[in-house]
A and B are shown apart, each in its own frame.
Chain A
Amino acid sequence: MSKENKFLIPALAVWIILLAISLNFQPSQRTAWLVLRQGNFKFKPDSRVQISRCGDLSYTKGIKELQEYREEIFTTDKYGFRNLGDLENPRAVVLGDSYAAGLGLNDPETLTYQMTQILGEPVYNYGGQMYGAPAEFLSDPRFQAHPPKIAIWAPVGRYTAPISLEKLSPRSGFVRQWRNCADLIKEIRDKLSRDNYLTVLFKKIVAFVLFKIGAPLSTNTEMIKVDGKNRLTLTLQAQLLCSSPGERGLVPLARNIVELDQKLKARNIHFIFAPLLEPGTVYADFYSPASKAYLQNPPFMALLFAELKKQGVDYLDLRDDFIKNRSPYLYLNDDSHWNPRGAKVAAQVLSDYIRPRLQ
């Protein structure tokens, strides 16, 4: 056998075997969130999806031992937001991302539904996919015609980043075709990057070994033990709790928030900035020492609040209330989002805060 073949035959054989194992792509976990995704921000209007799913972290990391399946009912109104019934002209609106929209929760467990129950008047859920909430809200003709009394921007801490307040203009002609083409490429790439039998096999083997020896599960996931039970969370680093102000864009973000406040004031809407908390802020002491090394820098949110205070923007820090109520656990055990109790604590604090301002 030639020296090249000595290498090529086994190497190509391994490659082909791996390729064969990987074929037959496994569909990614069906979630209401994915089923109802439409465009960049909203969901499909007037829809109801009922799905059994496990947490995003245990699913993507392939850790069967920690997967907890639960039923999720996700209902959208005629505008493509997660509200039960068509709430016309609400006096309070909560803008946000997956936490506000209630990923992983049932309809009656969402933040706004619980606020509605506490306040006795409708609170509109304007939570959508990732960024975009303030820009969408500012240009939404419904709220231009009938402005609410209060608008709360409640993004999850990790995604609180500089934003554009200008809504993207609708695509037309060649630009639309081009964008559609780019979207198609992205979709194909995402589909090919989904889990397949090969990646699942690798994940199972590696996760099993790491889980058994108690080693960190991945560069962005960590298992913490709270109330005697294992819970999967993102690492403190991945939650961006103490990243440097420059990296997170403190100055442009504060500028955006002040601008948003001014724009809403001009419409007689009282604005409150209330970022939602991830487990890192509430259960920091349960993380590994390596992870806790990040906490030596001042929390980013504290710096942002100080900046907003100087600028006279109304903000609400949920930290103390979450820490006070941190047992039982406030987050889903195998997911990066909060559980109904977490949403309930936030709903209570927010409701108490806005009640006098609604009168």
Chain B
Amino acid sequence: MLFYDYPFIFIFLPVALLVYYLLPRGLRNGWLFLSSCIFYSTFSLNFLLVLISAAVLTQGLGLILHRSRGQVPRKIWLSLALSLNLGALVWFKYYEMFAGNLRHWSVFSGLPFFKFALPLGISYYTFKNISYLIDLYRGQTRPAQSLIDYAAYLTLFPQLIAGPIMRFQEIAGQMRKRPETLGRFADGFKLFLIGMSKKILLADSAAYFANPLFELAVPGFWRAWASVFLYSAQIYFDFSGYSDMAIGLGMMFGFEFPQNFNSPYQAASFSEFWRRWHMTLSRWLRDYLYIPLGGNRKGKARTYLNLMLTMLLGGLWHGASWNFMVWGGWHGALLAIERYLGIQPPEKGIGRKLRIVFNFILISIGWVFFRCKSFTQSLLWLKSMFLLEGLGPFFSLKVGAVLAVLLPIIFGFRNSWELRSNYRYYWIIFIIGCFLLSLAVAYTKGAAPFVYARF
């Protein structure tokens, strides 16, 4: 049951909202937890157990950690809690990748073969658990007031599938009291409709034309670049559309989630891109990985190494594949080189515009590793993009037309976060019209699952 499915929009959400606002405030977190469990069980009842266990264990160990005195016991409790959380993530997500590689050596050839289905959202809720535990250890947050509060935070259905990755300290106050105003509800509802339209009308259209291109045995220069630009548009509209829907849903329940996308392709440097793309993950990686590794405080060489390590692990977070590692490494290298050269993008003017285009091209090259099914296919794509496989046939007129629509939206339009407070009549009519069209398309042609839901 995804956000654009009929049962979600017309049955689950109205019931969840109605009961929520009918209940006294003291029971609302409990209802949120219950409705999140119902939502999650429509994907898998088995994995609901994993999710609830993660919430109970983390809250329990977090309380013990908070009450412990002395550095050594605190470190022991933290290590135990982190190991359990990371252990589950590694077991479900990375075991087969590591075991598969180790089996090449005869010593490890007997490693058992386990192919698990990945519990939906495990990468996201594990990161939330980790940030909660570390913040407790650092004394940056207090424990949740009750298990229900923590479970409601961890399982909150609007951000369960693919974030945004909120830290408990950002939302602790809202778990106790949140302003459930009409204005916030309206903004949230609008953001939800905008997100849905972005996903169904823009992202899925890009995917419709990109997917056949990525099936080509030899794409050639033109079609390789067209496929990569289409995928750049697809992943942006897909993930930012999902984030808009998630944030909008949160607002309808009175929450204020952090922004997750801020026109990232309009960034003129790579560090700016990462401040605008999947912002909650970037912040998480900065605060719980890059800075603890030493950040930029231990000399230049160490800074570059830290950037590289952070981005490599960020890549690995997306999935157990060398392609994601290379994608992370590519961004780590871009960030390190940018820092080494001390490049500061111009604030405005043609110089900035050229930098934006240059950035977009390099970022799109990185998406090759993200999209291609194997490392071999990625190399073939790069060869084609750099004319080593010939020009090949030109892409179709339809592909050109789709790019001509999508790219100006990416570079020239304000983002949905900025537009959510626009209450002009023409804009309201436009959004409702797009919502109707999205429903018609989703229920007729079918919508593809969210790209980031598989991480």
Q: Which residues of A contact B (CB under 8 A)?
A: 2-8, 10-11, 14-15, 18-19, 22, 61-62, 178, 181-182, 185, 189, 192-193, 196, 198-199, 202-203, 205-207, 217-220, 237, 242-244, 246-247, 289-291, 293-294, 296-297
Instruction: Please report the C-alpha to C-alpha distance between residue A2 and residue B11 in the assembled complex, in whole angstroms.
Output: 28
Contact among A11, A15, A297 with B217 in the assembled complex (CB-CB below 8 Å): A297
Given A10-B428, A202-B444, residue A244 in contact with residue B374 (CB < 8 A): yes
Per-residue contact bits, chain B 162-191, to A (CB 8 Å; 1 contact, 0 not):
000000000000000000001101100110
CB distance A192 to B6 under 8 Å? Answer: yes
For A296, give the chain B residue with the smallest CB separation: B217
CB distance A3 to B373 under 8 Å? Answer: no
CB distance B423 to A22 under 8 Å? Answer: no
Query: CB-CB < 8 A to A62: which residues of B?
Result: 444
For the complex formed, measure the closest distance between the CB of A20 and the CB atoms of chain B, giving whole angstroms.
Answer: 10
Some 25 contacts from A to B, beta carbons below 8 A apart, are A7-B189, A7-B423, A11-B431, A11-B435, A14-B432, A14-B436, A19-B14, A185-B42, A192-B11, A193-B5, A193-B7, A198-B439, A198-B443, A199-B443, A203-B443, A220-B446, A237-B211, A243-B215, A244-B377, A291-B212, A293-B216, A296-B218, A297-B215, A297-B216, A297-B217
CB distance A219 to B14 under 8 Å? Answer: no
Instruction: Please report the C-alpha to C-alpha distance between residue A198 and residue B444 in the assembled complex, in whole angstroms.
Output: 11
CB distance B6 to A22 under 8 Å? Answer: yes
Instruction: Please report the C-alpha to C-alpha distance between residue A7 and residue B6 in the assembled complex, in whole angstroms.
Output: 22
For A16, give the chain B residue with the smallest CB separation: B14
Query: CB-CB < 8 A to A294: which residues of B?
Result: 212, 215
Most buried by A among B42, B182, B396, B445: B445
Query: CB-CB < 8 A to B374: which residues of A?
Result: 244, 246
Instruction: Please report the C-alpha to C-alpha distance between residue A3 and residue B427 in the assembled complex, in whole angstroms.
Output: 12
B344 within 8 A of A: no
Contact among B6, B10, B211, B216 with A296 in the assembled complex (CB-CB below 8 Å): B216
For the complex formed, measure the closest distance between the CB of A280 and the CB atoms of chain B, giving whole angstroms.
Answer: 13
Other A-B pairs beyond A5-B182, A206-B444, 9, CB < 8 Å: A3-B423, A5-B186, A7-B190, A192-B6, A218-B445, A219-B446, A293-B212, A294-B212, A297-B215
Q: Which of B265-290 contact A (CB under 8 A)?
A: none
Contact among A8, A192, A203 with B444 in the assembled complex (CB-CB below 8 Å): A203
CB distance B45 to A181 under 8 Å? Answer: yes
Given A8-B186, A182-B46, residue A61 in contact with residue B428 (CB < 8 A): no
Instruction: Please report the C-alpha to C-alpha distance between residue A341 and residue B169 in the assembled complex, in whole angstroms.
Output: 67
Per-residue contact bits, chain B 28-54, to A (CB 8 Å; 1 contact, 0 not):
000000000000011011100000000
Instruction: Please report the C-alpha to C-alpha distance between residue A182 and residue B41 in the assembled complex, in whole angstroms.
Output: 8
B76 within 8 A of A: no
Q: Which residues of B contact A (CB under 8 A)?
A: 1, 5-7, 10-11, 14, 41-42, 44-46, 182-183, 185-186, 189-190, 193, 204, 208, 211-213, 215-218, 373-374, 377, 396, 398, 423, 425, 428, 431-432, 435-436, 439-441, 443-446, 448
Most buried by B among A5, A10, A219: A219
Query: CB-CB < 8 A to B46: which residues of A?
Result: 178, 182
CB distance B441 to A206 under 8 Å? Answer: yes
Instruction: Please report the C-alpha to C-alpha distance between residue A222 and residue B211 in the assembled complex, in whole angstroms.
Output: 16
Query: CB-CB < 8 A to A297: which residues of B?
Result: 215-217
For A207, give the chain B residue with the smallest CB separation: B444
Instruction: Please report the C-alpha to C-alpha distance between residue A206 and residue B440 in the assembled complex, in whole angstroms.
Output: 7
CB distance B432 to A11 under 8 Å? Answer: yes
For B49, give the chain A residue with the smallest CB separation: A178
CB distance A219 to B208 under 8 Å? Answer: yes
Query: CB-CB < 8 A to A243: which residues of B?
Result: 215
Sorted nearest first, the 6 A-B pairs with minimum C-beta distance are A4-B186, A192-B7, A206-B444, A182-B45, A3-B423, A218-B445
For the complex formed, measure the closest distance between the CB of B146 and the CB atoms of chain A, giving whole angstroms.
Answer: 26
For the complex formed, measure the closest distance between the CB of B339 and the CB atoms of chain A, giving whole angstroms.
Answer: 36
CB distance B45 to A7 under 8 Å? Answer: no
Query: CB-CB < 8 A to B218: which residues of A?
Result: 296
Query: CB-CB < 8 A to A61: which residues of B?
Result: 444
Query: CB-CB < 8 A to B182: which residues of A?
Result: 2, 4-5, 8
Query: CB-CB < 8 A to A14: which residues of B?
Result: 432, 435-436
Given A18-B10, A199-B6, residue A6 in contact with residue B41 (CB < 8 A): no
For A196, give the chain B residue with the smallest CB separation: B6
For A192, give the chain B residue with the smallest CB separation: B7
For the complex formed, measure the closest distance between the CB of A62 and the CB atoms of chain B, giving whole angstroms.
Answer: 7
For the complex formed, measure the closest distance between the CB of A163 and the CB atoms of chain B, giving whole angstroms.
Answer: 13
Contact among B373, B431, B445 with A247 in the assembled complex (CB-CB below 8 Å): B373
For the complex formed, measure the closest distance between the CB of A211 and the CB atoms of chain B, giving whole angstroms.
Answer: 11
Given A11-B432, A294-B215, A296-B217, residue A202 in contact with residue B439 (CB < 8 A): yes
Contact among A19, A218, A247, A293 with B10 in the assembled complex (CB-CB below 8 Å): A19
Query: CB-CB < 8 A to A237: which residues of B?
Result: 211-212, 215
Instruction: Please report the C-alpha to C-alpha distance between residue A293 and residue B377 in the assembled complex, in whole angstroms.
Output: 16
Given A219-B208, A290-B396, A297-B217, residue A189 in contact with residue B440 (CB < 8 A): no
For B425, give the chain A residue with the smallest CB separation: A6
CB distance B45 to A178 under 8 Å? Answer: yes
Instruction: Please report the C-alpha to C-alpha distance between residue A44 and residue B36 in the assembled complex, in whole angstroms.
Output: 36
Query: CB-CB < 8 A to A182: which residues of B?
Result: 41, 44-46
Instruction: Please report the C-alpha to C-alpha distance between residue A3 and residue B217 in the assembled complex, in whole angstroms.
Output: 54
For the complex formed, measure the closest distance between the CB of A1 and the CB atoms of chain B, giving whole angstroms.
Answer: 10
Instruction: Please report the C-alpha to C-alpha distance between residue A352 and residue B269 in the assembled complex, in whole angstroms.
Output: 68
Instruction: Please report the C-alpha to C-alpha distance between residue A333 and residue B384 in the assembled complex, in whole angstroms.
Output: 40
Query: CB-CB < 8 A to B432: which residues of A?
Result: 10-11, 14
For the complex formed, measure the closest distance between the CB of A302 and the CB atoms of chain B, giving whole angstroms.
Answer: 14
CB distance B215 to A296 under 8 Å? Answer: yes
Instruction: Please report the C-alpha to C-alpha distance between residue A242 and residue B374 in the assembled complex, in whole angstroms.
Output: 16
CB distance B212 to A8 under 8 Å? Answer: no
For the complex formed, measure the closest distance between the CB of B199 and the CB atoms of chain A, giving whole angstroms.
Answer: 14
For the complex formed, measure the closest distance between the CB of B260 and the CB atoms of chain A, giving whole angstroms.
Answer: 22
Instruction: Please report the C-alpha to C-alpha distance between residue A217 and residue B445 in the assembled complex, in whole angstroms.
Output: 7
Query: CB-CB < 8 A to B213: which residues of A?
Result: 293
Most buried by B among A4, A207, A294: A4
For the complex formed, measure the closest distance between the CB of A199 and the CB atoms of chain B, giving whole angstroms.
Answer: 4
Instruction: Please report the C-alpha to C-alpha distance between residue A58 and residue B242 in the assembled complex, in whole angstroms.
Output: 31
